[in-house]
């Protein structure tokens, strides 16, 4: 039997096991294509994140899927610079970034807006303490849950976000509700 005949027989088989194998091969092929394209275009093997908190409401909701472009492939436009350039992203001036607080790998990443960049030794905000390092001052868009900068609260207390802590910049538009597919099992299993 030739390869072509074998493929035809495989595709036309009524066997439930061969049907299952076809479905598995299809899913694996789609995943490989998707991850390869995302690595090429966005610089990340896994370019999507599910939003877990309401800190970016009204612009990003709990359960949204957000695409992220690798920090190695882009630059960050802060809220401050966005106002000058009339550049908006996710409903406000400047870029929304995904970062690891204090650079810790095992901590859930934060997705907040880059408000402005400061150099080491500069005050982190008006009459604020001096920055121990250069980096970004960040803040969630939700004025009720995030009335102050991350660096004034418990997220990244008095530590500007260093570039090496940043995973990437949120791009495109949010995909509503799809993130619940990931969030619900994690909440149930406490992962």
Q: pLDDT (tens digit, 9 = 90+) per residue, 123-153?
A: 999 999 999 999 999 999 999 999 999 999 9
| Same structural domain, 38 and 100 | no
Please give the pLDDT value at position 175.
Answer: 79
Same domain, 161 and 86: yes
Query: What's the CATH code of the domain at 110?
Result: 2.10.109.10
Rounded to an integer, the average pLDDT of 87-108 is: 94
Domain coverage including residue 17: 3-42
pLDDT > 80? residue 30: no
Cα 94 to Cα 117: distance, rounded to the nearest angstrom: 12
pLDDT at 190 over 60: no
Cα-trace Rg, the chain: 21
CA–CA separation, 113 vs 97, rounded Å?
6
- Assess whether 69 and 102 both reside in one domain: yes
Same domain? For 99 and 69 the reply is: yes
What is the average pLDDT score of the chain? 86
Same domain, 7 and 73: no
- Name the band, by pLDDT with cuts 50, 70 and 90, for residue 36: low
Residues 157, 151 contacting (CB under 8 angstroms):
yes
Q: Which residues pair with 117 in a beta bridge?
A: 136
The bridge status of strand 110-118 relative to strand 96-99 is antiparallel
Least confident of 65-69, 79-83, 95-99, 182-186: 182-186
Same domain, 75 and 110: yes
pLDDT above 70: residue 186: no
Query: H helices within the chain, ranges in order?
Result: 3-12, 16-42, 79-85, 180-189
pLDDT of residue 37: 63
- Looking at residue 45, its pLDDT comes to 54
> In the structure encoding, which two tokens stand for residue 54, read together?
């309401």
Give the Å distances, CA to CA, from 95 to 54, 111, 144, 180: 18, 10, 20, 24
Instruction: Assess whether 59 and 21 both reside in one domain.
Output: no
Three-class DSSP category at 123 = strand
Alpha carbon distance 145, 55 (integer Å): 6
Q: Are residues 181 and 134 in the same domain?
A: yes
Provide the domain count of the chain. 2
Which pLDDT score is estimated for 189? 47
Q: Are residues 106 and 31 in the same domain?
A: no
Work out the average pLDDT over 46-61.
Answer: 87
Q: Point out which residues pair with 123 in neighbouring strands.
A: 130
DSSP E strand stretches across the chain: 48-50, 65-70, 88-89, 92-93, 96-99, 110-118, 135-139, 166-175
Q: How does DSSP classify residue 57? A: T
């Amino acid at each position: 039997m030739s390869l072509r005949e074998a493929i035809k027989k495989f595709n036309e088989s009524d066997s439930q096991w061969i049907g299952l194998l076809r479905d598995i091969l299809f899913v694996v092929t789609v995943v490989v294509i998707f991850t390869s394209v995302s690595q090429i275009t966005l610089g990340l093997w896994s370019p999507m994140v599910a939003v877990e908190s309401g800190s970016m409401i009204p612009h990003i909701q709990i359960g949204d899927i957000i695409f992220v472009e690798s920090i190695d492939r882009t630059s960050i436009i802060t809220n401050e610079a966005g106002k000058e350039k009339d550049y908006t992203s996710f409903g406000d001036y400047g870029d929304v970034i995904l970062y690891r607080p204090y650079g810790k790998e095992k901590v859930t990443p934060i997705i907040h807006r880059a408000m402005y960049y400061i150099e080491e030794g500069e005050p982190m905000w008006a009459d604020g303490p001096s920055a121990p390092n250069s980096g970004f001052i960040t803040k969630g868009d939700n004025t009720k849950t995030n009335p102050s900068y991350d660096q004034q609260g418990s997220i990244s207390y008095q530590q500007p976000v260093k570039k090496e802590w940043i995973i990437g910049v949120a791009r495109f538009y949010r995909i509503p509700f799809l993130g619940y597919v990931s969030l619900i099992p994690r909440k149930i299993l406490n992962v």
